[in-house]
Amino acid sequence: MLLFCRLQDFAEGQTALKYVPSTADVVMTVNLQNLDKKVNLAQLQQYDFYQAMLKEMNKTPGLENDTSKQEYLGKLLTDPVSLGFDTKEPFYFSWKKLGSIPT
Long-range contact set of residues 97-102: C-beta below 8 Å, sequence gap at least 24:
97/3, 97/4, 97/5, 97/25, 98/4, 98/5, 98/6, 98/61, 99/3, 99/4, 100/1, 100/2, 100/3, 100/4, 101/1, 101/2, 101/4, 102/1
Q: What is the pLDDT of residues 41-59, one digit of tens each?
A: 788 888 898 888 888 877 8
Q: What is the pTM of this model?
A: 0.55
Q: What was the pLDDT predicted at 48? A: 92
The ranges assigned to domains in the chain are: 2-97
Per-residue pLDDT tens, the chain, 103 aa: give them: 333 444 445 555 556 777 788 888 888 888 877 877 888 878 888 889 888 888 887 787 777 888 888 888 888 877 888 988 888 888 788 887 776 666 6
